[in-house]
Amino acid sequence: MSSDFDKTVNRSAAGIHLLQLHDSPVMRWLYLSIGITALFMGILGIFLPILPTTPFILLAAGCFARSSGRFHGYLLSHRVAGPIIQEWCQYRSVTRKVKHWAYLVMLLSFGSSILIVPSWGLKSMLVLLAAILFMFIWRLPVRDKQG
């Protein structure tokens, strides 16, 4: 049986919803499994141009918020991922700096992959995937930080 603490909604100093553990142990286990898988895919996305990183990390944060306070706290306190996740949770946006960083990493990873791949078919596929990812990132809302 879950304690009252487990059912409490924890909030950051900014008042954003951070943690609401699911009542069912089976569902918490399922969320934890999906969160670990998403985190692994996000880490792979750092190195593989076809996999996006940010959506998988955000999915992992959402799953951990429903399954594990420890893993969720780790992601929120991570020096790189934490501020991005908190920005998304609070404002449903990314900062201009994060967006520019995503474009740069995407350009470097897709560009190097396109140069290395010998087949014109694969090069075309990578260009198409890069264009789709570019459009996805371009459509993300931007919030300029105040202060």
Res 38: pLDDT: 94
Burial class (CB in 10 A: 0-12, 13-18, 19+), 50: middle
Res 147: pLDDT: 43
Residues 140 and 74 in one domain: no
Res 88: pLDDT: 82
Residues 88 and 44 in one domain: yes
- Please state the domain count of the chain: 2
Sign of the dihedral defined by the CA atoms of residues 21, 24, 25, 29, in that order: negative
Give every residue of the chain whose pLDDT is below 70, as ranges: 1-19, 145-147
Residues 110 and 80 in one domain: no
Residues 106 and 124 in one domain: yes
The 10 Å Cβ neighbour count of residue 73 is: 16
Q: Which domain covers residue 142, as residue numbers?
A: 96-147
Res 114: pLDDT: 92
Residues 87 and 106 in one domain: no
Residues 82 and 101 in one domain: no
Residues 83 and 124 in one domain: no
Which residue in 106, 52, 59 sits closest to 85, CA to CA?
59
Res 1: pLDDT: 38
Residues 31 and 81 in one domain: yes
Res 12: pLDDT: 43
Residues 74 and 143 in one domain: no
Res 19: pLDDT: 64
Res 118: pLDDT: 93
